[in-house]
Amino acid sequence: MMKKTAIWMLALALFGALQACDDDDVKVPSQVQTAFAAKFPGATRVDWERRGSYLVADFHDAGYETDAWFDAAGVWYMTETEILFQSLPAAVQSAFEAGEYATWKVEHIEKVERRDMEPIYVIEVERGEAEFDLHYSHDGVLVRAVPDADNDRHHDDLLPQQLPQAVTDFIAAKYPGARILEAEPERDPLYVLEVEIIDGGRLREVRFDAADKWVHTKTEVRAAEVPDVVMAALRASQYAAWTIDEIDQYVAPEREWYRFELEQPGSERETEVDILSDGTLL
């Protein structure tokens, strides 16, 4: 009996060892295995791989193919779960079906959950040789459309960043109740960090300099939301006959302005025009 018990325990130990590595024999620290087991108690068919400084578990959970990202200390950062279209929030389904990519072929869909950040729903679409990852917030806001050049099913670019306390404090004070979607470093002369938030159902890009000071906030707006004095200034300018392609509102500590992306009818000419909120053409 003791011999059979010993053999059974050895088999369990071997099974655990197999669960802790993939074909590349990735070594998974015990603290990572413990954290994984606590967060995903129903996981089956577990394989591990290393991606940069992260350990990524590929497994099945409740019938869904899932990937979970941990650091070497066992801290969870992100989960990617492949889901069906009908499992998307109703707002995301509606936004996609009403959007410009509605007729594209849907390849697959993932829900991306992240530490201290809002979840993102990624719909991968293709048409001919073109492929895009469409990033939606829970309430159906299309955050961005990213060309899918490498066909990698992982979303390393959505891994959460630890934001400076000054940045999170500013966002909480200026945009109470806003939800942080993404944050990424920038190489712009004016700002080095861009944080995308959902504020009152609107997508805003909040930008900060190297000292964590607020530079400005960019929000795409409709023509009907632009002050009459600003629209009047545009109509009085040399670009009155040009077609408006997009309008962005910029709010900075000392001023507010609107940037119009314009196209000249009958030609391929494009330009940008900035007008202050008081109607002054910049």
pLDDT at position 22? 40
- CB proximity list for 106: less than 8 A, separation 6 or greater: 85, 123, 124, 125
pTM: 0.76
Q: Could you tell me the pLDDT band of residue 184, with boundaries at 50, 70 and 90?
A: confident
Report pLDDT digits (tens) over 222-260.
Answer: 999 999 999 999 999 999 999 999 999 999 999 999 999
Identical topology for domains 78-153 and 222-282: yes
Report pLDDT digits (tens) over 24-54.
Answer: 578 999 999 999 999 999 999 999 999 999 9
Report pLDDT digits (tens) over 92-143.
Answer: 999 999 999 999 999 999 999 999 889 999 999 999 989 999 999 999 999 9
CATH class of the domain at 222-282 = alpha beta
Q: Could you tell me the pLDDT band of residue 19, with boundaries at 50, 70 and 90?
A: very low
Given a contact cutoff of 8 angstroms between Cβ atoms, the answer to whether 77 and 116 are in contact is: no
Average confidence score pLDDT of the chain: 89
CATH class of the domain at 1-74 = alpha beta
Higher per-residue confidence, 182 vs 77: 77
pLDDT at position 272? 96
Higher per-residue confidence, 256 vs 6: 256
Domain limits of the chain? 1-74, 78-153, 161-216, 222-282
Which CATH number among 3.40.50.300, 3.90.1280.10, 3.10.450.360, 3.40.50.720 corresponds to the domain 78-153? 3.10.450.360
Q: Is the pLDDT of residue 212 over 90?
A: yes
Give CA torsion, residues 155, 158, 17, 2, to 10 deg: -120
Whole-number Å distance between alpha carbons of 265 and 103: 27
